[in-house]
Amino acid sequence: MYKAILLLIASLSLVNFGVNALAQSAQLSPQALVQDAIEKQRAGDLEGAVTEYREFLKLHPEATAIHSNLGAALAGLGRFEEAVGEYKIALRQSPRLPGARLNLALAYYKMGRISDAATQLEKVHAEDPANHQAVLLLGDSYLRMGENKDVIRVLAPEEKKYPDDVAIAYMLGTAYIRNKQPELGQVLVDRILRNGDSAEAHLMLGTAKMGIQDYAGARDEFQKAVALNPNLPEVHGLYAQALHLTGDSDQSNKEFKAELANDPYNFAANLQLGANAREDENYDAAEQYFTRALATRPGDPGARYQLALIAIEKGKLDAARETLESLVKASPQFAEAHVSLSLVYYRLKRPADGKRERDIVQKLTADAQAKQPGVKQQ
């Protein structure tokens, strides 16, 4: 089921070479060079292929498909930043070049820039709605970004077309549960359960239990999911969250680290481990975690706030102020950011601004207190 997505990620860069396009674009004199590069790429000599593609592009920088091929070779070497550059050149020259946008999306995905991947996948999906692989990846990207409504928008129609696709059932069911539509999620959980005891089923059940704050129950479900398939995306991260909420911080941290071993750009793992590192005053490590979290969810207020806190600790008050001002502008109810912004203003010797923020904190505190449900009246 979910393996399908992983296989897709592993294989897409190889299936979109665009050799035919290459033959049309390349000039005769360097054709041998290009053919040799292609053969090297097919044979796994990616370094050799990169060298020859670059030689060729010096002579013919307008060769759109060669930029795309070079991107694929670079991606195969794990040099995603360079690959992205080549794909972008190819797409600038030929926006509808077959496979290039999907490959660009894959490169972003592997870099942990899930939001950028989703942007590209949306375009692929718009151009080619029948591309099932692109839809799967798009749903997965939105799930990682926490954009549950988008997961539902993209995958609900797909689920009707592929009712037996367990990967879709899993992602869509998880999104329903997270979107507080448990009855729809339950239908998909049942479908997965009919296939027997599976990691995906326990993961979804755990997610559902988290939603109703049954953290101990969720922890037990996630534990089973980990035992059945430790490579299932997010399984360690979710187990870690449940462990954290049931008070087992040590084991929680281990599971978050296990999640990052599977997926270095897992948002929740990076956020929590970053917060731990910041609390331990290990600011450089914390910055790395939060930067990776932001790669997955650009602009995430929580991760940006954590980076602002590190800036305060490092004495970079102006940098912290800029981030905090932006955060409270975007999220006026973000009380913690107002607290920190007030503190920064006072330290920057701007007491009037500090007092203004402090007054906001007090108002937010009073508003929050007023909203407390109080206690049950017998």
Partner 1 sequence: MKINRREWIRLASLTGAALAAPRAFAQKPEPLFVEIPPSVSGITWVHENAMSPTRYLPETLGPGCAFLDFDNDGWMDIFLVNSGPSDFWKPSQPVRNALYKNNRDGTFTDVTAKAGVGGEYFGMGVAVGDYDNDGWPDLFVTAYGKCILYRNNHDGTFTDVTEKAGLATPGWTTSAVWFDYDGDGKLDLFICSFVDYSGVKKLECGSNQIGKNYYCVPRLFKPTASFLYHNNGDGTFTDVTKGTAIASALGKGLGVVATDINNDGRMDLFVANDTVQNFLFVNRGPGANGQWKWDEIALQAGVGFSEAGRPRSGMGVDAADLKGNGWQDLFVANVDHEFYSVYENNKDETFRDVAQGNGVARATRLMSGWGLKYFDYDNDGEIDLFLANGHPDDMIDSYSMQVKYREPLLLFHQGADHKLHDVSENAGPAFQRDYAARGLAVGDFDNDGALDVLVGNNGAAPLLLKNNAAKGNNWLGLKLEGVTSNRDAIGARISWEAGGKVRRMLKTSGGSYLSSHDPRVVLGIADATIVDAVEIHWPAPSKQVDRLTKVGPNRYIHVVEGKGIVASNDSHTQKSAGQANS
- Of 60, 153, 254, 347, the one binding partner 1 by CB under 8 A: 347
Q: Rule CB under 8 A: say whether 216 interacts with partner 1.
A: yes
Smallest separation (angstroms) from partner 1 to the CB of 374: 6
- Which span (3-11, 55-63, 144-152, 304-312) binds partner 1, by CB under 8 A? 304-312
287 neighbors 279 (Cβ within 8 angstroms): no
| Residue closer to partner 1 (CB basis): 195 or 249 | 249
CB 81: neighbour CB atoms within 10 A?
A: 9
Total of chain residues touching partner 1, rule CB under 8 A:
43
Where is 124: in which H helix or E strand? helix 114-127
Cβ closest to partner 1, residue 91 vs residue 310: 310
By CB under 8 A, residue 339 contacts partner 1 = yes
Q: Does 130 bind partner 1 (CB under 8 A)?
A: no
User: Is residue 251 a contact residue for partner 1 (CB under 8 A)?
Assistant: yes
Give the distance from CA 245 to its chain's centroid: 23
- Nearest residue (CB) to partner 1, 147 versus 220: 220
- Shortest spacing between CB 354 and partner 1, in angstroms: 6
- In the window 308-327, what residues touch partner 1 (CB under 8 A)? 309, 312-313
The CB-of-247 to partner 1 minimum distance in angstroms stands at 3
Closest CB to partner 1 among residues 20, 365: 365
Buried b (16+ CB within 10 A) or exposed e, 336-361: bbbbbbbbbbeeeeeeebbeebbebb
Of the ranges 30-38, 65-73, 227-235, 249-257, which one interacts with partner 1 (CB under 8 A)?
A: 249-257
Q: Does 346 bind partner 1 (CB under 8 A)?
A: yes
Q: In degrees rounded to 5, what are phi and psi of residue 350?
A: -120, 70
Residues 6+ apart with CB under 8 A from 65: 18, 21, 22, 24, 25, 90, 94, 97
Cα-based angle 143, 214, 156 (whole degrees, multiple of 5):
30
Q: Which residue has the tokens 């296989």?
A: 7
Which residues between 61 and 120 bind partner 1 (CB under 8 A)? none
Contacts of 112 (CB under 8 A, 6+ apart): 264, 265, 292, 295, 296
Q: Which two tokens stand for residue 244?
A: 């954290």
Q: Kindly indicate which of the ranges 7-15, 33-41, 172-180, 334-342 contains the residues binding partner 1, using the contact rule CB under 8 A.
A: 334-342
Q: How many CB atoms lie within 10 A of CB 157?
A: 11
Binder among 24, 81, 183, 378 for partner 1 (CB under 8 A): 378
Which member of 184, 193, 343, 364 binds partner 1 (CB under 8 A)?
343
Q: Distance between CA atoms of 326 and 331, rounded to whole angstroms?
A: 8
User: Among the candidate windows 35-43, 96-104, 212-220, 287-295, which touches partner 1 by CB under 8 A?
Assistant: 212-220
C-alpha–C-alpha distance, residues 168 and 147, integer Å: 16
Specify the stretch interacting with partner 1 by CB under 8 A; choose among 17-25, 153-161, 214-222, 264-272: 214-222
User: DSSP letters of 50-100?
Assistant: HHHHHHHHHH-TT-HHHHHHHHHHHHHTT-HHHHHHHHHHHHHH-TT-TTH
Q: Select from 10, 95, 365, 367 the one that contacts partner 1 (CB under 8 A).
A: 365
CA–centroid distance for 45 within its chain: 30
Q: Is 335 in the site for partner 1 (CB under 8 A)?
A: yes
For the bound state, the minimum distance from the C-beta of residue 48 to partner 1, rounded and expressed in Å, comes to: 51
CB of 241 to partner 1, least distance (A): 14
- What is d(CA 326, CA 336) in angstroms, rounded to the nearest whole number? 13
375 touches partner 1 (CB under 8 A): yes
Binding region for partner 1 (CB under 8 A) out of 69-77, 106-114, 162-170, 364-372 = 364-372
Cβ distance 75 to 107 under 8 Å? yes
Task: By CB under 8 A, name the binding residues for partner 1.
Answer: 214-216, 243, 246-251, 275, 279-281, 305-306, 309, 312-313, 335-340, 342-343, 346-347, 351, 354, 358, 361, 365-366, 369, 372-378
